[in-house]
Amino acid sequence: MTSSWLQAYLAEAVRKKLCTEIMCTTCGAREFRLGVVRALRDATVQRPRKQIEPEIDLEVARALAEVTPYGMTGPEIARFAGAVRCILSDLWSGAPILDSEIGSRTLLPHSEIEALLGSTWAGDLLHRMKEHHEAREAERRTREVFQNPANVQKRREEKKRLKQEQHKRRLALKQERDRLWRVKHGKAN
C-alpha cells in the first residue's frame, strides 16, 4: 500500500473546500472525517468498518508523515494545513474519526504519533499546534488567577487605597494653596 492515498485525499478535500474545522458546531467536519476513513479503506482494499480501531489511527499517522503541501498556492496551503490539523487533533485527542456513536477507544500514544511524524511537515505542524495549545493554556491559567475572587478583591482594595491617598494629597495641596492665599490677602485663619 502506498501512503500517497492521504496526500491525494487531502488535495481533493482542499479542492472541494470541505469543512475541516476542528470544533465545527455546524457539521463537525463529518464529510471530511468520513472521507479519511473511506480513502484508507479504498487504499487498503479492506471491508467497511463500523468502528475505529487503533490500527486505523496508526495507518493514518504513518500516511501523515508523507504528506506535504507541495505544488499548492497560499490559500490552498492554508486549507491543506487546516485539514492536517483536523486529522492530528483527532489522533491526539482520540476523537472518533468515523462516528460519534463509537464511544471510547484505545488511543494511539502521543509519543508514538510524535515518533512517526518526527521532523516531517506534519510533525512540524503538530509541534506548532502543541506550542499554541500550551500558550493558550498558560493564558487561561493567568486569566483564572487574575479573575480569582480573592485577587479581584485585593485589586479593588488597593485601588481604593490609592484613590484615598491621592485625595489626601490633593486636600493637603488645597490647604496649602488656601493658606498662601490667606497670607497674601491678609486674611486671618
Letter string b/e over residues 123-135, b meaning 16 or more CB atoms within 10 A of that residue's CB: bebbeebeeeeee
pLDDT of residue 158: 97
Q: Which residue numbers in the chain have pLDDT < 50?
A: 1, 50-51, 98-103
pLDDT of residue 178: 94
Whether the Cβ atoms of residue 97 and residue 36 lie closer than 8 Å to each other:
yes
pTM equals 0.71
- Give every CB contact of residue 187 below 8 A, 6+ residues apart in sequence: 181
Chain segment 20-51, per-residue pLDDT in tens? 998 888 888 899 988 988 888 888 876 655 44
**Domain ranges, ordered by start, for the chain:** 4-147, 151-189
Whether the Cβ atoms of residue 42 and residue 35 lie closer than 8 Å to each other:
no
pLDDT of residue 95: 63
pLDDT of residue 102: 45
